[in-house]
Copies of this chain bind each other. A is one copy, B any other.
Amino acid sequence: MSKRQLITPRTLKGFRDYPPEAMIPRERLIDTARRVYRSYGFSPIDTPALEYLEILAGKGGEETDKQLYKFEDHGGRQVGLRFDLTVPLARFAAQHVNKLGTPLKRYQIAAVWRGENTQRGRYREFMQCDFDTIGTRSIAADVETVLVVHDLFRAIGFSEFTIRMNNRMVLGGLLERLDLADRATPVLRTLDKLGKIGPQRVADEMTEIAAITRQQAEQIVKLSEIAGSNDDVLRQIEPLVAGSETGEAGLGKLEAVVGGVRAAGVPDRRLVLDVSIARGLDYYTGTVVETFLDALPEIGSVCSGGRYDNLAELYTKQELPGIGASLGLDRLLAAMEELNMVEKVATLAPVFIPYFDKDRLHDYLKLAAALRAAGIGVEIFPEPKKLGGQLKYADRRGYRIALIAGADEFDRGTCQVKDLAAAKQQDVPLEDDAASVIAAVEAILGNHG
């Protein structure tokens, strides 16, 4: 063979490999999200990574357009890689809703791509984890959205987190009363920066960008000072929106969601009304939610969403109202790591069988088959190397139990069951069906919790 220049193995800037230690918690989180979404009757859909460019372009604002991965395909078509799951959902809904019917409750968990500036620590490929209910204006769907977010964080393992909720109609009513209804878009986009830059700079920016008076800006920014129990907050909103039809309707909706969520048994502290939450995206028209981890509020919202009046107006004349939210998978995983909530293992099977006696492969295979038939995952080391090295490998991978059997054990008809975490071992009879070994393994796995 001729000498060849080696190609440097590397990933593109902004892209990552996920080795097992990183992928296992990610798969676990995705499984949890799917389980919760499914428990509310949401069903999975998938859409292509590549779409016609005209479907994607101009849908996420100027910055998103710049970040779009786009090119000409083999057939001369202009195509792009999806940059979120909302635009594909809108296209999907416009195309299939008449066949599928409403309410269309779907989840989609998939990668999206954006040519972000990596200097800000952003990745160019990341997962989104969305659920939406399309085709209904009922407040029951808003209540459900909050419940799904709540159950999701409980199922992941959080008990201290806060879902902050507002309704854009309340903000709309307030702006109406300030005679600023026509400047809602720039005002709300600026208000959305409250958590990042603080009330003073938000007020500055509002007077500059939205061309409103300093006094008006300060009245809007003061919304963030409204606090207390949800009932208190509702009472404080009342005078602010009184006389505005939109604002009063928004207040009613906030009240209804708070009541519904309480009826479903969610502790009051986990859903907090926050009149200063706007969510920057133009398409939100009603309920908006953000979710914060009480232990790490500074990382911002890890699950956000809201209600929209018309999801797919670019693709169909059919009006498709709905509500949905998106779990920030990567941000949440980073937070969980910081909070030591991520177990570091590189295997999902609990039992390891060293290939100890080189003539006994068939016995190891038989033992492993019996354990697997009982639902217990097992790895057999592939080579009859020294036992110490094999056990080190097992430890590094995160195996919890080793089943050790050499010539002596086979002669005695036993097997050593070794609890690797506790560094304890016991000799167990090795029957044809491995019943005693299975019982010993199950006892240890049960003990570990």
Contacts and interface: CB of A to CB of B under 8 A. Distances in A.
Contacts of A6: 314-317
Contact of A49 (B73, B111, B263): B111
B382 A144 contact: yes
Contact of A54 (B7, B27, B144, B381): B7
Contact of A20 (B43, B75, B125, B366): B43
Interface in A386-444: 393, 396-397
B115 A73 contact: yes
A52 B349 contact: no
Interface string A122-155: 0011000000010010101101100100010000
A368 B12 contact: no
Contact of A69 (B73, B124, B264): B73
A95 interface: yes
Contact of A140 (B46, B75, B355): B355
A83 interface: no
A49 B378 contact: no
A175 to B, nearest CB: 19
Interface string A352-384: 100100000111011011001000111111110
A151 B55 CA distance: 43
Interface of A: prevailing SS:
mixed
A52 B10 contact: yes
Nearest to A345: B43
A26 B368 CA distance: 29
Interface string A190-209: 00000000000000000000
Contacts of A10: 52, 91, 95
B348 A17 contact: no
A11 B349 CA distance: 40
B138 A41 contact: no
Contacts of A46: 17-18, 23, 26
A267 interface: no
B378 A39 contact: yes
Interface stretch (A100-108, A214-222, A245-253): A100-108
A101 B20 contact: no
Contacts of A99: 19
Given A100-B19, A140-B380, A9 B73 contact: no
Nearest to A66: B74
Closest 4 CB pairs of A and B: A41-B379, A71-B71, A20-B43, A263-B362
Interface of A: 4, 6-13, 15-20, 23-24, 26-27, 34, 38-41, 43-52, 54-55, 67, 69-75, 77, 79, 81, 91-92, 94-96, 99-101, 103, 105-106, 111, 113, 115, 124-125, 133, 136, 138, 140-141, 143-144, 147, 151, 259-260, 263-265, 312, 314-317, 346-349, 352, 355, 361-363, 365-366, 368-369, 372, 376-383, 393, 396-397
16 contacts: A6-B317, A7-B55, A11-B48, A15-B50, A23-B44, A23-B45, A38-B377, A41-B349, A73-B115, A74-B115, A101-B396, A105-B379, A140-B361, A140-B382, A144-B382, A264-B369
